[in-house]
Amino acid sequence: MAARGTVKPFANFNASHDADVFYKAMKGLGTDEDAILTLIAARNNSQRQQIKLAYKSTYGKDLVDDLKSELGGKFETLVVALMTPPVSYDIYELRNAIKGGGTDEKVLIEILASRMASQIKEIATAYKSEYGSSLEDDITGDSSGHFMRLMVILLQANRQQGVDQGAIKTDAEGLFAAGEQKFGTEEETFITILGNRSAAHLNKVFDEYRKLSGFEIEESVQRETSGSLEELLLAVVKCARSVPAYFAESLYYGLKGAGTDDHTLIRIMVSRSEVDMLDIRAQFRKMFATSLYSMIKVLTTHIHATCALFLFSVTLYLTGHTSYSIMLSLMH
């Protein structure tokens, strides 16, 4: 999947040279934000980590701390996110979602429903190491009911592998009997099946469910559940069908309307820019009959123009790297 990102490794990479560029961009009065953007958009995360080491070795200072002192607002948020290793960024977002002012269930749902099993295990280990408490304990201490139970199941990252042909019809019938076929809903059945089966298996179940009930599984989830559990179940279903389509939809609704959901937009663009942004971009056009970059262009009226330029840049795929001059001319 890494080959489906739009941010690529820079071919002629030199960490010491890039550290010097960062230093000069922040030296003296004022900050050359364009130079920072041009550099950071043309390096992948692994290379950015090497630049951080070279910067500290050369100047005896922490690059991220210097960037924080020089930048501000949404652009600072974006740049710091880009300078953070992917797993560290995920656990930072999860921690803030749990320990901030009220639980941001949207962030919990997005990360835990979309990441692969190996990533979730790595996230859980890194979270415990960084914060001294288990991610499961923190989530269960901050949530309840069926939503909490499904979160715990997802955190186990222990889905069955492959497709169990003998269980496809049984699972579809179980979902139908737990929802549409009865008065009330047996949420436990939805949680157990959707939380434990592989994506490949679930897609077979969804096809069988449609034949059996006459409904798409999403329709039944929306009718049979509500609130945070509904949102989590829908995310699990959508990610089983297509992770890029799930993120394309999240981006669309984050961009649509009177106000832009900057937090969601930045989080998705940063976390998916090296993973599957090409597929997200294709799904976005297919689902919404417009391009992702054309919607992002209007962000210059909502957030820092330089921040908008980076978000625009990661939707492009220009011979393996971002052309800042082309980006700039298109944006203005």
Question: Could you give the CA distance from residue 171 to residue 190 in angstroms, rounded to a whole number?
Answer: 10
CB neighbour list of residue 196: distance below 8 Å, 6 or more residues apart? 153, 158, 159, 160
Question: Could you give the CA distance from residue 310 to residue 269 in angstroms, rounded to a whole number?
Answer: 9
C-alpha torsion sign, points 10, 12, 16, 21: negative
Question: Could you give the CA distance from residue 238 to residue 109 in angstroms, rounded to a whole number?
Answer: 12
Angstrom CA distances, 204 to 157, 169, 181, 244, stand at: 20, 9, 20, 19
Q: Is 137 exposed, middle or buried (0-12, 13-18, 19+ CB in 10 A)?
A: exposed
Instruction: Give the pLDDT score at 328.
Output: 32
Question: Could you give the CA distance from residue 249 to residue 138 in angstroms, rounded to a whole number?
Answer: 28
Instruction: Give the pLDDT score at 315.
Output: 58
Instruction: Give the pLDDT score at 304.
Output: 55
* Burial call 243-258: b when 16+ CB within 10 Å, e when fewer: bbbbbbbbbbebbeee
Instruction: Give the pLDDT score at 314.
Output: 60
- Partners of 7 in the β-ladder: none
Question: Could you give the CA distance from residue 63 to residue 69 in angstroms, rounded to a whole number?
Answer: 10
Sequential pLDDT tens for the chain (332 residues): 447 888 889 999 999 999 999 999 999 888 898 888 888 888 999 999 999 999 999 999 999 999 999 998 888 888 999 999 999 999 999 999 998 777 799 999 999 999 999 999 999 999 999 999 999 999 999 999 999 999 999 999 999 999 999 999 999 999 999 998 877 789 999 999 999 999 999 999 999 999 999 999 999 999 999 999 999 999 999 999 999 999 999 999 988 866 678 888 889 989 998 999 889 999 999 999 988 887 877 655 555 555 555 665 565 543 333 333 323 333 22
Question: Could you give the CA distance from residue 296 to residue 316 in angstroms, rounded to a whole number?
Answer: 12
User: Pseudo-torsion of CA 50, 54, 59, 63, nearest 10°?
Assistant: -10
CB neighbour list of residue 209: distance below 8 Å, 6 or more residues apart? 172, 175, 176, 215, 216, 217, 220
C-alpha torsion sign, points 65, 271, 250, 231: negative
Q: Show the domains of the chain with their CATH numbers.
A: 15-83 (1.10.220.10), 86-156 (1.10.220.10), 166-241 (1.10.220.10), 244-329 (1.10.220.10)
CB neighbour list of residue 144: distance below 8 Å, 6 or more residues apart? none
Q: What 3-state DSSP class applies to 30?
A: coil
Instruction: Give the pLDDT score at 112.
Output: 97
Question: Could you give the CA distance from residue 332 to residue 109 in angstroms, rounded to a whole number?
Answer: 36
